[in-house]
Copies of this chain bind each other. A is one copy, B any other.
Amino acid sequence: MEGRERVVIESITPQIDCGRYPVKRVVGDELVVEADIFSDGHDEVAGVLLYRQQHEKGWQEVPLSRLENDRWQGSFTLSELGSYHYTILGWVDHFLTWQKDLKKRHAAGQDIAVDILIGVQHIERAAELAGPELAEKLHETAQALAHAPNRQRAVAIGLAPQLSTTISGCCARDLATRYPDELCVTVDRERAVFSSWYELFPRSCGRDRRHGSFKDVQSLLPELAELGFDVLYLPPIHPIGMTKRKGRANAANAEPGDPGSPWAIGSPEGGHKAVHPELGTLEEFRELVREAGKKGMEIALDIAFQCSPDHPYLAEHPEWFLWRPDGTVQYAENPPKKYQDIVPFNFETASWRELWEELRSVLFFWMDQGVRIFRVDNPHTKPFPLWEWLIREAKQRSPEVLFLAEAFTRQKLMFRLAKLGFDQSYTYFTWRNSKQELVDYLEELTRGAAREFLRPNFWPNTPDILNQYLQVGGRPAFIVRLVLAATLSSNYGIYGPVYDLCLAAAEPASEEYQHAEKYQLQEWDRDAPGNLKAVIAALNRVRRENPALQRTNNVAFYPAEDDGVLFYGKSTPDGSNTVLGLVNLDPFHAKQVRIQVPLEELGIKPGQSYLVQDLLNGDHFIWQGAWNSILLDPAQTPARLFRIRSWLRRERDFDYYL
């Protein structure tokens, strides 16, 4: 134990669960690190932020600057994919202390002769520890100080800032304290935090009631790219079991011709590494991935680690499943509900290592086909250690790979999945519809601990969830939820074309879609009247053109004098880009609402006019002052996205287009 290490380092942020899990950032982010650093007594402390990439041995360092109340801050840029480690080094800086004290004594007119001698000693001691070139300079300075002709000169030499910087850098750190742990940050690519998802069922993309294929999907790529999506997510593309196949509308038994649920994976034609024969071939899938890439899009696959009763695994590896005393395999259950078309793995099998390795090989197989994004089905029903290992293995193989957790479950499980590695997470967004619900939920996600490890992905609908708001609200409701999802969260997705077409028919007293595409083929007229394509395209364009919308943690809420109107905004850290969102949550009735624009945040003086442009709808307003009144008519403009420009110099009255 070194009892002379006087500096204390505490409360380093950001940090998750005592450093058990890494925080999340994307490439190009600046990681801002803070810590409490202090010592006993009055001496000055100083410190540096140490950081290194995972594979590097030596540390880089950045000086820490003092905030208030013993809090210090430093930052460094995360320029590479992968992991960085960081920690803090702090020490008592005797020379800085000497300078601080000299300044006070000099100002108080006290005799400083001995203090000057002490300063000379400090500098000479530093010279002993420094390299030869620096040592010579320091020795010169010490001599100059010792022989300074008068007090003024001595003080000037002694208080030179570069002198303390020099000594601090080279020779002040004996007895430094290093924080005992190394913290970690995972750096992903930009798409981890900014992505626009479109989900569709390939088998419904066929024409003339034919089972759709990868080629059909491929023909849709231009349109989807124009709409502005960058991730095309497909439900499982594997062969579907026949035994206990579900029929239409979740009927316990399928009729001939019913296609079954894509999540009931596996048949004699293959399992998790095979392609459903009616979708096409593996080569055609690879082509789809390539063609999507040319249009700036990625294919995301569904990872559903479960089997139909016909999956080859059951015969090849019966030890990976639970068998009932009557000799049948244990199917999925949540008593009293039974899901007999699904057989879960038994992760407590003694052969768990082989099972894990097979599942990893499934993941790697699809990565080899070019897939870099996976949406994981119900990860909360598989062991957490499995995901932590799988995600780490996958990212080691390819640091660009991303995982979205579809875990509609209790919050602590959702948070744990995010902590252990899932890059994005579905959330409770579908059940947050009122103003208070939205504000509370966004504040929880963006101001609480989760902001460091959970990246929300907001979906207004999924194949399992058509919420009541959409069921009754009509087209305006679909626009409202779309705008909320796509602007409150930088990651969002819609399940189409049912969303684009504002289809709102649900099973009675349920959030299940009627004629659910999970259980039957559909055929969609993507251009049917009332479709949302124009809105979607405009929205995705606004997202692409406004960096403020490419983050989630930066959302803030502003006053709107109506409990049914949400007013919020996002800005980039430097304030150069701001978008404000204004949404009438009532899909039936127009509202004239007063809102308070955050003038100070926008750098607008109270008396100043400013130009407000609705990026979604195109219209303009000229406002002055914070409080303004505006009409939100669901039939015309249920939601508005504002960009604000200060009014320029009076000579340039018509400078709308910058």
Contact = CB atoms under 8 A, between A and B. Distances in A.
Interface string A164-175: 000000000001
Given A18-B18, A117-B326, A382-B40, A105 B410 contact: no
Contact of A3 (B19, B117, B356): B356
Interface residues of A, number: 57
Contact of A121 (B10, B110, B325): B325
Q: Is the interface of A mostly helix, strand, loop or mixed?
A: mixed
A108 B336 contact: yes
A389 interface: yes
Contacts of A107: 336
B8 A410 contact: no
Contact of A38 (B114, B335, B413): B413
A40 B381 contact: yes
Counted per complex, copies of this chain come to 2
Nearest to A344: B41
A335 B101 CA distance: 6
Interface string A422-464: 0000000000000000000000000000000000000000000
A5 B386 CA distance: 10
Contact of A325 (B5, B19, B117): B117
A557 interface: no
Contacts of A121: 325
A509 interface: no
Interface in A105-141: 105, 107-108, 110, 114, 117-118, 120-121
Given A104-B336, A105-B335, A114-B324, A40 B413 contact: yes
A70 B410 contact: yes
A79 interface: no
A623 interface: no
Nearest to A386: B3
Centre residue among A41, A334, A382 by max chain B CB count within 10 A:
A41
A240 to B, nearest CB: 23
Interface in A376-415: 380-386, 389, 410-413
A504 to B, nearest CB: 31
B326 A38 contact: no
A6 interface: yes
Given A18-B18, A110-B336, A10 B117 contact: no
Contacts of A6: 347-348, 383-385
Contacts of A324: 114, 117-118
A17 interface: yes
A353 B410 CA distance: 53
A650 interface: no
Interface string A350-376: 001100100000000000000000000
B333 A101 contact: yes
A3 B352 contact: yes
Contacts of A120: 325
A315 interface: no
Given A6-B385, A38-B410, 14 more contacts: A1-B385, A3-B347, A6-B348, A6-B384, A10-B17, A38-B416, A40-B383, A42-B381, A70-B412, A70-B413, A104-B335, A105-B336, A114-B328, A120-B325
10 contacts: A3-B352, A6-B347, A6-B348, A10-B416, A38-B410, A40-B413, A41-B381, A114-B328, A118-B325, A121-B325
